[in-house]
Amino acid sequence: MTSRSRAVLARLFDAESAASVRLGRIVLAALVLAFWQLGSGRLFDPFYFSRPSALVGQLATELADRGFYRDLGVTALEMALGYGFGALAGVIGGVLLARWAYVARLFDPFLLALNSIPRIAVAPMLIVWFGIDLASKVFLAATLVFFITFFNTLSGIRGVDIALCNVARVQGASEWQIFTKVMLPSASSWILTGLKMSLPFALVGVILGEFLVSSKGLGYRLNLYSTSYNTTGALTMIVIMMLIMMLLTAAVDRLEARVLRWRPRADPTAGVIPKA
């Protein structure tokens, strides 16, 4: 074995390397799928759990269906609008209330009360208020996204080290410069965490709205398959939603890494006692 081959193998089996993590994920997913495939019909009834091979066939059927792309486009539009409006309002609201302490204390209990309302409880009323078309799904998704981004932004701005702001003031910085050059960069990790955490809830809100009343969208397809006891079709829709969320989360991770590229990376070995 050459030295280059040994280096490649060492990198693959290094517990802290990215290649080792990816390999571990692939092996884990393969084991789960193999257990599912082999156990279907032996350990559990495929009527309730289907099998991976059936899901692959159903996925091919969906991809060959024009109606699937129509439903995918409808859900994507609703999710994009709900996430965009909710995230924008949450970030702006969090920044404003963090800057206005009196207004924040005034609104805090009301915002907490509104956030505690189960969305499933008000979803039928949203349909009454906004109708069965796009607006009700967008508003439901936006309300879920808003509170997550709002409270993360509020905590991030409030957690900025006041000493940094004082140093900037001593150096002659204006309040706007302090906000844009000190406060926002310091709170950016909180804001991006809120944007990442709220992303799946945008899809949850849209699917919930489509579940209640809709004739198109991925939620409509999922509800149709579930009510007709088509386990394979329902699980295929769930897998598609999982893949969509994985891609979107990966995109947000890339954005976070780009925005926070100025922040030094933490040393994973820091604080670890070396072995004797």
Is 238 among the domain residues? yes
**Which residue has 């909180």 as its token pair?**
190
Above 50 in pLDDT, residue 61?
Answer: yes
- The secondary structure of the chain, three-state, reads CCHHHHHHHHHHCCCCCHHHHHHHHHHHHHHHHHHHHHHECCCECHHHHCCHHHHHHHHHHHHCCHHHHHHHHHHHHHHHHHHHHHHHHHHHHHHHHHHCHHHHHHHHHHHHHHHCCCHHHHHHHHHHHHCCCHHHHHHHHHHHHHHHHHHHHHHHHHCCCHHHHHHHHHCCCCHHHHHHHHHHHHHHHHHHHHHHHHHHHHHHHHHHHHHHCCCCCHHHHHHHHHHCCCHHHHHHHHHHHHHHHHHHHHHHHHHHHHHCCCCCCCCCCCCCCCCC
Q: In this structure, how many other beta carbons lie within 10 angstroms of the beta carbon of residue 207?
A: 26
Q: Which pLDDT band, with edges at 50, 70 and 90, does 80 fall under?
A: very high
pLDDT tens, position by position, 204-238 = 888 888 887 777 888 889 988 888 888 889 999 99
pLDDT at res. 90: 92
For residue 82, is it within any domain? yes
Q: Rounded mean pLDDT of 133-154?
A: 88
Using an 8 Å Cβ cutoff, are 211 and 223 in contact? Answer: yes
- CATH code, domain carrying 215: 1.10.3720.10
| Average pLDDT rounded to a whole number, residues 180-191 | 81
For residues 267, 161, 195, 132, the Cα torsion angle rounded to the nearest 10 degrees is 160
pLDDT band for 263, please (50, 70, 90 cuts).
low
Per the domain annotation, does 197 fall within a domain? yes
pLDDT score of 274? 44
Mean pLDDT of the residues in the chain: 81
What integer pLDDT is reported at residue 128 of this predicted model? 78
Is 194 within 8 Å of 252 (Cβ atoms)? no
Q: Is the pLDDT reported for residue 275 higher than 50?
A: no
In percent, the amount of the chain with pLDDT more than 90 equals 13
Q: Flag the least confident range among 5-19, 23-37, 253-267.
A: 5-19
Answer yes or no: is 36 within a domain: no
> Which of 13-17, 256-260, 269-273 tops mean pLDDT?
256-260
* Confidence band for 40, pLDDT divided at 50, 70 and 90: confident
In contact, 56 and 36? CB cutoff 8 Å: no
Highest-confidence segment of 9-18, 176-185, 226-235, 262-271: 226-235
In a domain, 236, yes or no: yes
How many other β-carbons are positioned within 10 Å of the β-carbon of residue 102?
8
- Residue 122 is predicted with a pLDDT of 78
User: Taking a C-beta distance cutoff of 8 angstroms, is the pair 106, 119 a contact?
Assistant: no
Q: What pLDDT is stored for residue 89 in this prediction? A: 93
What local confidence, expressed as pLDDT, does residue 268 receive? 47
Q: Which of 97, 119, 121 is CA-nearest to residue 109?
A: 97
Q: Pseudo-torsion of CA 195, 196, 197, 203, nearest 10°?
A: 90
Average pLDDT over residues 104-127: 79
Q: Is 159 domain-assigned?
A: yes
For residues 47 and 50, give the distance between their C-alpha atoms in angstroms, rounded to a whole number: 6
Please, are residues 73 and 181 in contact by the beta-carbon 8 Å criterion?
no
CB-based contacts of 11: which residues, under 8 Å, 6+ apart?
Answer: 17, 19, 20
Range of the domain at 178: 52-257
Indicate whether 200 belongs to any domain.
yes
The answer on pLDDT for 276 being more than 70 is no
The pLDDT of residue 55 is above 50: yes
Amino acid code (one letter) for 265: R
Domain count, the chain: 1
Here the tokens at position 209 are: 């709205």
**102 vs 106, 112, 162, CA distance in Å?**
6, 16, 18
215 vs 72, residue with greater confidence: 72
User: Is 21 contained in some domain?
Assistant: no
